[in-house]
Every structure is written in structure tokens, then in C-alpha cells.
Structure 1
């Protein structure tokens, strides 16, 4: 059985869009794992061994996009 995903309460999103630092941190923490998953890449060496790494540029771009969405949130 799948575990239900916890949603971010509306008042937290509204507070973050108004500039509340704690609310912004809460939202960033909520999406931290998802951002890390999206920014994880795999490299293979000449022997065919695979290595996973987090692309820091991609992670920063995704975090920046999330912050822009928070500040552009309109009711």
C-alpha cells in the first residue's frame, strides 16, 4: 500500500509568498528529496561501472525555480 504524501498547508504557502523565512525553509525542506532525485545523474567509466552524483548546477536551478514560484504565488 502506498504511503499518502503530506501536502503543504495553504497558510504556509501564503506565509512563504509574503516572505516568512521559516515558511520558505519548510517548503524547501519538503521538496529537498525530490530536488535531489531530479538532479541525480549517472556516469559510466570505461569499464562500464556506473556512478551516481548530484549535479549541483541542476540542483541550484531547481531550487531557484521553486523560490521563484513561491514568490510569484497569487491567490
Structure 2
């Protein structure tokens, strides 16, 4: 690497500690970064098989489950004890 930050979305990596610290203190911009970091994983966890009225099966995101997982992540981040 040449010292630059790589913003390639295919390389997830870890969240920077200052972002985590700010999110635990309630900073909305930091919380947005945390939520974006986990968005694809939350979508994966909330994907369900759906059948339409013709019997065709396809995969779709259960929006209720996605919102519940996002809310749980926010509660955990805000309640995380950092020294």
C-alpha cells in the first residue's frame, strides 16, 4: 500500500476505532458508518424464500427482520461499555 486509505467496498476490514468510539457516544454520523458497514450482512441475514401466488419461488428481503436487526445493532452499539 502507498499510505492511502483504500475505499474498495469489496475489502470490508474492520471499522476504525474512532468511529466505534463516536458511535457508542451517540454520534449519528458514526452510527451511519457502522450501519453501512453491516448493511450487506444484515440483508443476508434477513433474506427469506418467498412464493408468489403462482407457486414461483424466489428470494427476498424480509423488511421487518431487516429493521429489527438494524435496531438491535444500534442498541448494542449504544450500550457497549468502552473504557
* Superposition CA RMSD, Å: 1.8
Between the two structures, name the one with larger relative contact order (CA 8 Å, sep ≥ 6). 1
Task: Give 4+ residue runs of structure 1 displaced > 4 Å after superposition.
Answer: 45-48
The aligned residue for residue 29 of structure 1 is 36
Within 5 Å, which residues of 2 pair with 1:19-58? 19-44=26-51, 49-58=56-65
Question: What SS class does the counterpart of residue 8 from structure 1 fall into?
Answer: coil
TM-score by length of 2: 0.77
TM-score by length of 1: 0.84
Number of matched pairs? 73
- List runs of 5+ in structure 1 lacking aligned partners: none
- Greater helix proportion: 1
The aligned residue for residue 73 of structure 1 is 80
Q: What's the CA shift for 1:10?
A: 1.5
Q: What CA distance in whole angstroms lies between the structure 1 residues aligned with 2:28 and 2:40?
A: 20
- Provide Cα deviations, 1:9-45, integer angstroms capped at 9, x if missing partner: 1111110011111100000000000000100001245
Q: What CA distance in whole angstroms lies between the structure 2 residues aligned with 1:22 and 1:43?
A: 34
